[in-house]
Structures are given as C-alpha cells and as structure tokens.
Structure 1
Amino acid sequence: MTDRTADPQDPRPLIGEPLSLDLLNTRWAGTPVNDLLAEPGGYAVWLSSAGLAGRCSADEAGLAALREARAALAAAVGDLDREGAIGAAAVAGLNEVLQHGRLRRELGPAGPASHVEVDAPQRLAAWLAVDDFLALLAQGPHRIRKCAHEACILHFFDASQNGRRRWCSMAVCGNRAKAARHYEKVRG
C-alpha cells in the first residue's frame, strides 16, 4: 500500500499493525485511556506513521471521519472478541464508512490498476482503514486478536505460522504476565 515508518512523535506502544488495527490502537491503556486522536495534532502523527501524510490532510473533517471509522472498527472487533462474529449494528457502522468510497479498477497502459475514489478527500483515511479490515477478515477473522494481558486494550493481527500469538508485544505485555506469574509462584 504505502511505505510505513513510525513517526518519531508517535507515543503509542504498538505501531505497525495493519492499517485498520493501527487505527484501533490509537487508544491504549492508561488512566484515563490514552487517545492519539483526541486532537488534530495526534491525527497528523497517525497519518505520518500510517504512511498517509502525503495523501490526507490532518483537518477536523478528516479527524471526525477517522473517529467514526475507529468506532465502527471497535464495535466489529468487540463483536469478534465476544461472539466470534460481527453483529448487525457493527456491520452497519462499517458499511456507513465504506459507502463514502469505492475501488475503481481499470486496465491502463501499464496493466491492471486500482484507484480509490471517495466522495470527499477527508474520508480517504477512514475508508482505507475499513477497507483494510475487510482484507483482514478475508484472511481469517480468528487472526484478529485482543492482547491477552488483562490491562491491555490493544489489538493485533496474528500472522504467526502456528496462529498462537497472545500478546501485542512479548517485550511489554508478555513479560508483565510472566513476571506476575513468577511473583505469584514465589509468594504462594
């Protein structure tokens, strides 16, 4: 899709997941919950990390559309976590975002080409994120997972060969869980 190099100003603990989950992970654990999209400046950082800064401008309309897409993705992933399938309300939310764009395919001089067309440029990042989610679903909804650490709210796409990834980051949440188990073993 695009080159993705994390913006040095990006404070999130998990960066580099597929675009849809990267958007979902703009909220992460904290008291209160950290939200990169609370301000337009955070939206600009996310666009930069997502490789979309050259295609999308960080304005209020784009931020509103992206928050709408994030809410739709959160509902869909929440349904997958709880029920193993996406419910009707979440499907409607995803389709609401998708109705603002389409993928146009054509045969050009260089061969087949695809172009995203949106009804307003501010909707491009939101549409791309939800379209990416559809691609993840096609690869296997069971691979879209919430981190197994009870205090973590991050999600990831399990691309491991055996499909057994449990943590958003072994270095962070995995080690916390191991340390907690060790502490309980020593104490108990």
Structure 2
Amino acid sequence: MTITLLGEPFAIDLMNTLKTAHDPIVDQLASPAALDEFWRFQVDRDPTLTPLGHEDTLALRGIVTEIVSSIREQRAPDVHVLTAANTLLYAAPTQTYLRASVDGIDVEHTSTASHAADVTRARAILSAIELTARAEDGRLRRCAAEDCSQLFVALNSKRRWCTAAGCGNRARVSRHAARVRTPATA
C-alpha cells in the first residue's frame, strides 16, 4: 500500500495517515510496509527522527491528533492526553535555538535524551505545538474536498485543497462537468 504523504509538518503528516472522511475510516499505517514507508519519508526529511514501532506510532498519532484538534477547535485538550504529551516532552528535554539561514531564521531543537525514540516522540509533540500560530492565523486547514480529511498548512490565503493535482483537480473537473450539464439561460 502506498500512503499519501504531503510533506507537511511532522505532526500533520502523522495525523493525515488516518483517513477519517472515508466510511469505514482508513488507517494508512495498518500494514508493516506502510509503517516503514511513513518512517522512511519522515527520516529522509529529518534524520534526527528514529522510527517507532506500530503501537508506539499509533499512540503518538492519537496524542498528536487530540492536541492539534484542540488547537483547531479552540478548546482544552483531554486531560489524559495532555498528561501523556507532557510526559513525552519530559522524557526528552529539548533546547530550542535560533540559527541564521539563507531565508532568515531557522528554529533548531536539540535534546539530551538518552533514547532516540524519546526524541522522536517529543519532536512530534513539538511539531503539534508549533502549529498553534498557524491555526491562529487561519493557515492550518482541512482540505475542502468532502471526501478528504487531510490537514495542511496553507502558504497563501487562497489554498483550499490538500493538493492541487489531487483534490483541487477533482473539484475543477466537477465544476466543469456541472457547467457542461447545465444549459446556459438567456
């Protein structure tokens, strides 16, 4: 199974592996091959990450989903999830640094954790936390397609679809077909 990864922030890519707009819900991490594909993609983007096992990945996805959902819905997260997230952060103390880059400033996180898996879990929680500003300015969005549950960070105010080639194209084709079917009135 090939999974759909948009290359969004780590937390969003993790959440997007559960397709909630489908009935039944589709878990793109259900197979070992899909789980490996997900982690290969993430580690290629951030070599400091360490692949987690299936149960750990699903548990982490649940925590991240609740945190990001609470941010989007402007509500307090479940207290048990908040406790779990704080436990993961505590297990991998992280220092944040600013670093000059070609396009301005990059934020860099380093950890003194002794276990690489703890760092990966904490990075997922930090990724979810960093989405707060994007949610506040309306850039953290759910795809406008009815049959899609993907989240994405909009880089411009007009973006409505998770991908222009996928959901965006299907919407354009649908609008065109509707115009062709409806005769023009004079």
TM-score (norm 1): 0.71
User: Does structure 2 conserve the Cα–Cα contact (< 8 Å) formed by 1:73 and 1:130?
Assistant: yes
Identity %: 26
**Structure 2 residue corresponding to 1:125, chosen from 120, 127, 133:** 120
The amino acid that maps onto 1:75 is E
Question: Match of 1:50?
Answer: 42
Once the two structures are TM-superposed, the CA of residue 183 in structure 1 deviates from its matched residue by: 2.0
Q: 1:50 to 1:118 in 2, by over 3 A?
A: same
**Structure 1 residue corresponding to 2:151, chosen from 129, 148, 155:** 155
Q: 1:136 to 1:87 in 2, by over 3 A?
A: same
Structure possessing the higher radius of gyration over alpha carbons:
2
Contiguous gaps of at least 5 residues in structure 2 = 98-107
The amino acid that maps onto 2:178 is E
Which stretch has the larger CA shift, 151-160 or 125-134?
A: 125-134
Question: Match of 1:70?
Answer: 61
User: Does structure 2 conserve the Cα–Cα contact (< 8 Å) formed by 1:76 and 1:86?
Assistant: no
Once the two structures are TM-superposed, the CA of residue 105 in structure 1 deviates from its matched residue by: 6.3
TM-score (norm 2): 0.71
Deviations 1:130-161 (A, max 9, x none): 2112122134442111100010011101122x
Q: 1:138 to 1:78 in 2, by over 3 A?
A: closer
What CA RMSD, in Å, does the superposition of the two structures yield over aligned residues? 3.0
User: Does structure 2 conserve the Cα–Cα contact (< 8 Å) formed by 1:69 and 1:94?
Assistant: no
- Asked if 1:170 is matched to 2:168, the reply is no
Deviations 1:87-118 (A, max 9, x none): 331x7525522422320469xxxxxx852244
The amino acid that maps onto 1:11 is T
**Structure 1 residue corresponding to 2:140, chosen from 144, 153, 158:** 144
Instruction: Count the aligned residue pairs.
Output: 165
Question: Match of 2:177?
Answer: 183
Deviations 1:3-36 (A, max 9, x none): xxxxxxx823343111111111112365644323
Question: Match of 1:93?
Answer: 81
